[in-house]
Protein backbone atom coordinates (compact mmCIF):
# COMPACT_ATOMS: atom_id res chain seq x y z
CA UNK A 1 0.00 0.00 0.00
CA UNK A 2 1.29 3.48 -0.85
CA UNK A 3 1.25 6.32 1.62
CA UNK A 4 -2.36 7.35 1.28
CA UNK A 5 -3.33 10.48 3.19
CA UNK A 6 -5.14 9.64 6.43
CA UNK A 7 -7.18 11.93 8.67
CA UNK A 8 -8.25 10.74 12.09
CA UNK A 9 -10.71 12.40 14.40
CA UNK A 10 -9.99 11.60 18.03
CA UNK A 11 -13.12 12.63 19.87
CA UNK A 12 -11.48 11.78 23.21
CA UNK A 13 -13.88 11.69 26.18
CA UNK A 14 -16.48 14.01 24.68
CA UNK A 15 -20.07 13.94 23.58
CA UNK A 16 -23.55 12.70 24.31
CA UNK A 17 -25.33 10.26 22.03
CA UNK A 18 -27.24 13.18 20.53
CA UNK A 19 -24.05 15.16 19.86
CA UNK A 20 -22.33 12.15 18.38
CA UNK A 21 -25.22 11.55 15.98
CA UNK A 22 -25.08 15.20 14.96
CA UNK A 23 -21.37 15.03 14.17
CA UNK A 24 -21.95 11.90 12.11
CA UNK A 25 -24.76 13.47 10.12
CA UNK A 26 -22.51 16.44 9.30
CA UNK A 27 -19.78 14.04 8.16
CA UNK A 28 -22.24 11.96 6.16
CA UNK A 29 -23.41 15.01 4.23
CA UNK A 30 -19.89 16.28 3.46
CA UNK A 31 -18.39 16.24 0.00
CA UNK A 32 -14.82 15.10 0.40
CA UNK A 33 -12.16 13.56 -1.85
CA UNK A 34 -12.68 9.85 -2.54
CA UNK A 35 -11.38 6.99 -0.45
CA UNK A 36 -8.57 6.54 -2.97
CA UNK A 37 -7.24 9.96 -1.97
CA UNK A 38 -7.93 10.12 1.76
CA UNK A 39 -8.68 7.56 4.44
CA UNK A 40 -10.94 8.96 7.16
CA UNK A 41 -11.12 7.39 10.61
CA UNK A 42 -13.18 8.73 13.50
CA UNK A 43 -12.65 7.61 17.04
CA UNK A 44 -15.58 8.02 19.40
CA UNK A 45 -15.52 6.92 23.03
CA UNK A 46 -16.09 3.13 23.41
CA UNK A 47 -19.74 3.41 24.38
CA UNK A 48 -20.61 5.24 21.16
CA UNK A 49 -18.64 2.98 18.81
CA UNK A 50 -21.60 0.74 17.86
CA UNK A 51 -23.93 3.70 17.18
CA UNK A 52 -21.32 5.54 15.15
CA UNK A 53 -20.39 2.47 13.17
CA UNK A 54 -24.03 1.77 12.34
CA UNK A 55 -24.81 5.26 11.02
CA UNK A 56 -21.47 6.45 9.58
CA UNK A 57 -21.08 6.55 5.79
CA UNK A 58 -19.32 3.41 4.53
CA UNK A 59 -16.29 5.22 3.11
CA UNK A 60 -15.35 6.48 6.61
CA UNK A 61 -14.07 4.12 9.27
CA UNK A 62 -14.06 3.91 13.06
CA UNK A 63 -11.30 3.48 15.61
CA UNK A 64 -11.35 2.69 19.30
CA UNK A 65 -9.27 5.00 21.50
CA UNK A 66 -7.57 2.15 23.38
CA UNK A 67 -7.68 -1.57 24.02
CA UNK A 68 -6.28 -4.01 26.53
CA UNK A 69 -2.72 -5.29 26.22
CA UNK A 70 -3.60 -8.98 25.91
CA UNK A 71 -6.50 -11.39 25.63
CA UNK A 72 -9.56 -10.33 27.59
CA UNK A 73 -10.42 -11.85 30.95
CA UNK A 74 -10.46 -10.62 34.52
CA UNK A 75 -9.52 -7.00 33.72
CA UNK A 76 -12.34 -4.86 35.08
CA UNK A 77 -13.06 -1.79 33.02
CA UNK A 78 -10.95 -2.83 30.04
CA UNK A 79 -12.01 -3.58 26.46
CA UNK A 80 -10.10 -6.25 24.55
CA UNK A 81 -8.84 -6.26 21.00
CA UNK A 82 -10.98 -9.37 20.39
CA UNK A 83 -14.11 -7.41 21.31
CA UNK A 84 -13.24 -4.70 18.79
CA UNK A 85 -12.67 -7.33 16.11
CA UNK A 86 -15.96 -8.97 17.09
CA UNK A 87 -17.76 -5.67 16.39
CA UNK A 88 -15.81 -5.17 13.14
CA UNK A 89 -14.02 -2.09 14.47
CA UNK A 90 -10.98 -1.98 12.16
CA UNK A 91 -8.73 0.54 13.94
CA UNK A 92 -7.44 1.34 17.41
CA UNK A 93 -5.48 4.36 18.68
CA UNK A 94 -2.76 3.28 21.13
CA UNK A 95 -0.26 5.16 23.25
CA UNK A 96 -1.96 8.54 23.19
CA UNK A 97 0.02 10.99 25.32
CA UNK A 98 -2.99 11.56 27.56
CA UNK A 99 -2.91 7.87 28.49
CA UNK A 100 0.87 7.82 28.75
CA UNK A 101 0.76 10.80 31.14
CA UNK A 102 -2.45 10.26 33.11
CA UNK A 103 -2.46 6.46 33.26
CA UNK A 104 1.30 5.95 33.30
CA UNK A 105 1.42 3.83 30.15
CA UNK A 106 5.12 3.11 29.57
CA UNK A 107 6.84 2.79 26.20
CA UNK A 108 7.07 -0.98 26.69
CA UNK A 109 3.41 -1.31 27.65
CA UNK A 110 2.37 0.65 24.56
CA UNK A 111 4.66 -1.55 22.45
CA UNK A 112 2.99 -4.67 23.85
CA UNK A 113 -0.44 -3.23 23.16
CA UNK A 114 0.46 -2.47 19.56
CA UNK A 115 1.82 -6.00 19.09
CA UNK A 116 -1.25 -7.64 20.58
CA UNK A 117 -3.74 -5.48 18.66
CA UNK A 118 -1.93 -6.26 15.38
CA UNK A 119 -1.89 -9.96 16.19
CA UNK A 120 -5.68 -9.85 16.44
CA UNK A 121 -6.02 -8.16 13.06
CA UNK A 122 -6.57 -4.57 14.11
CA UNK A 123 -4.92 -1.61 12.38
CA UNK A 124 -3.14 0.68 14.81
CA UNK A 125 -2.61 4.41 15.08
CA UNK A 126 0.37 4.49 17.46
CA UNK A 127 1.02 7.86 19.11
CA UNK A 128 4.42 9.28 19.99
CA UNK A 129 5.59 12.75 20.96
CA UNK A 130 7.67 14.80 23.35
CA UNK A 131 6.69 17.13 26.18
CA UNK A 132 7.68 20.80 26.21
CA UNK A 133 10.43 20.13 28.78
CA UNK A 134 11.87 17.39 26.58
CA UNK A 135 11.80 19.64 23.51
CA UNK A 136 13.46 22.47 25.42
CA UNK A 137 16.12 20.06 26.67
CA UNK A 138 16.87 19.15 23.04
CA UNK A 139 15.75 15.55 23.44
CA UNK A 140 12.79 15.48 21.03
CA UNK A 141 14.34 13.01 18.61
CA UNK A 142 15.65 10.77 21.40
CA UNK A 143 12.24 10.63 23.08
CA UNK A 144 10.38 9.89 19.88
CA UNK A 145 13.01 7.32 18.88
CA UNK A 146 12.71 5.53 22.25
CA UNK A 147 8.92 5.45 21.99
CA UNK A 148 9.09 4.14 18.44
CA UNK A 149 11.83 1.62 19.26
CA UNK A 150 9.73 0.15 22.08
CA UNK A 151 7.08 -0.58 19.45
CA UNK A 152 9.59 -1.79 16.85
CA UNK A 153 11.04 -4.26 19.35
CA UNK A 154 7.70 -6.00 19.65
CA UNK A 155 6.47 -6.05 16.07
CA UNK A 156 7.95 -7.30 12.81
CA UNK A 157 5.62 -5.76 10.29
CA UNK A 158 4.60 -2.09 10.18
CA UNK A 159 2.11 -2.49 7.31
CA UNK A 160 -0.91 -1.99 9.55
CA UNK A 161 0.59 0.72 11.73
CA UNK A 162 0.37 4.46 11.26
CA UNK A 163 2.51 6.57 13.57
CA UNK A 164 0.91 9.72 14.95
CA UNK A 165 3.49 12.30 15.95
CA UNK A 166 1.77 14.45 18.55
CA UNK A 167 4.04 16.79 20.47
CA UNK A 168 2.43 17.03 23.90
CA UNK A 169 2.92 20.82 24.01
CA UNK A 170 0.82 21.17 20.86
CA UNK A 171 -2.18 19.11 22.01
CA UNK A 172 -5.22 21.19 22.83
CA UNK A 173 -3.07 24.28 23.31
CA UNK A 174 -3.58 26.12 20.04
CA UNK A 175 0.23 25.98 19.62
CA UNK A 176 0.61 23.98 16.43
CA UNK A 177 4.08 22.73 15.52
CA UNK A 178 5.48 24.58 12.54
CA UNK A 179 5.54 22.50 9.36
CA UNK A 180 9.33 22.33 9.72
CA UNK A 181 9.15 21.12 13.33
CA UNK A 182 6.77 18.40 12.19
CA UNK A 183 8.79 17.46 9.13
CA UNK A 184 11.99 17.18 11.19
CA UNK A 185 10.60 14.20 13.11
CA UNK A 186 9.13 12.33 10.15
CA UNK A 187 10.74 9.41 8.37
CA UNK A 188 10.36 7.57 5.12
CA UNK A 189 8.20 4.48 4.80
CA UNK A 190 5.57 4.14 7.51
CA UNK A 191 2.73 6.60 7.24
CA UNK A 192 3.01 9.41 9.76
CA UNK A 193 0.22 11.63 10.94
CA UNK A 194 0.71 14.91 12.77
CA UNK A 195 -1.49 15.77 15.75
CA UNK A 196 -1.69 18.83 17.99
CA UNK A 197 -3.91 21.88 17.40
CA UNK A 198 -4.63 21.00 13.78
CA UNK A 199 -7.52 23.06 12.45
CA UNK A 200 -9.16 24.16 9.23
CA UNK A 201 -6.81 27.14 9.03
CA UNK A 202 -3.42 25.45 9.42
CA UNK A 203 -3.98 22.02 7.83
CA UNK A 204 -3.03 22.85 4.26
CA UNK A 205 0.34 24.33 5.09
CA UNK A 206 1.17 21.29 7.21
CA UNK A 207 -0.16 18.86 4.59
CA UNK A 208 2.26 20.30 2.05
CA UNK A 209 5.21 18.79 3.95
CA UNK A 210 6.41 15.77 1.97
CA UNK A 211 6.74 13.29 4.84
CA UNK A 212 3.44 14.15 6.48
CA UNK A 213 0.76 11.64 5.51
CA UNK A 214 -2.18 12.92 7.49
CA UNK A 215 -3.54 14.27 10.74
CA UNK A 216 -4.84 13.06 14.07
CA UNK A 217 -7.23 15.78 15.11
CA UNK A 218 -8.69 16.35 18.57
CA UNK A 219 -10.79 19.45 19.24
CA UNK A 220 -11.44 20.34 15.61
CA UNK A 221 -12.69 16.82 14.84
CA UNK A 222 -15.83 17.65 16.82
CA UNK A 223 -16.58 20.61 14.57
CA UNK A 224 -17.58 21.04 10.92
CA UNK A 225 -14.04 22.27 10.11
CA UNK A 226 -12.98 18.61 10.31
CA UNK A 227 -14.30 18.41 6.76
CA UNK A 228 -11.83 21.11 5.64
CA UNK A 229 -9.06 19.06 7.27
CA UNK A 230 -10.15 15.96 5.33
CA UNK A 231 -10.10 18.06 2.17
CA UNK A 232 -6.51 19.12 2.79
CA UNK A 233 -5.62 15.74 1.24
CA UNK A 234 -6.04 17.61 -2.05
CA UNK A 235 -2.74 19.35 -1.34
CA UNK A 236 -1.00 15.98 -1.78
CA UNK A 237 -2.77 15.30 -5.04
CA UNK A 238 -1.55 18.63 -6.37
CA UNK A 239 2.10 17.93 -5.47
Ligand X SMILES: O=C(CO)COP(=O)(O)O
- Least Å from the CB of residue 165 to ligand X: 11
Selected binder of ligand X within 118, 217, 229, 230 (CB under 6 A)? 217
- Least Å from the CB of residue 102 to ligand X: 12
3-state secondary structure 153-218: CCCCCCCCEEEEECCHHHCCCCCCCCHHHHHHHCCCCCCEEEECCCCCCCHHHHHCCCCCCEEEEC
For residues 50 and 17, the answer to whether their CB atoms sit within 8 Å is no
Assess 171 for contact with ligand X (CB under 6 A). yes
Using the contact rule CB under 6 A, the part of the chain among 17-25, 113-121, 194-202, 204-212 near ligand X is 194-202
Assess 10 for contact with ligand X (CB under 6 A). yes
- Least Å from the CB of residue 28 to ligand X: 22
Among 96, 98, 105, 130, the active-site one is 96
Assess 214 for contact with ligand X (CB under 6 A). no
Query: How many CB atoms within 10 Å of residue 36?
Result: 9
Phi-psi region at 59: left, alpha or beta (left = phi > 0; alpha = psi -120 to 50): alpha
Assess 95 for contact with ligand X (CB under 6 A). no
Assess 147 for contact with ligand X (CB under 6 A). no
Q: List CB contacts of 18: < 8 A, sequence separation 6 or more.
A: none
Assess 207 for contact with ligand X (CB under 6 A). no
Residues forming the active site: 96, 166
Amino acid sequence: MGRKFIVGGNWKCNGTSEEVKKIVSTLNAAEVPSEDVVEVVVSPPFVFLPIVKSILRPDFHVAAQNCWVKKGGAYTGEVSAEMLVNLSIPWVILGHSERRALLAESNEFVGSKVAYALSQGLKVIACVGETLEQREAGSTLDVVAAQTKAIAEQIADWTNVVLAYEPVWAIGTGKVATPDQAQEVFAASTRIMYGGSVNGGNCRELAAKPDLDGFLVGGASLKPEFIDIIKSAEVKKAV
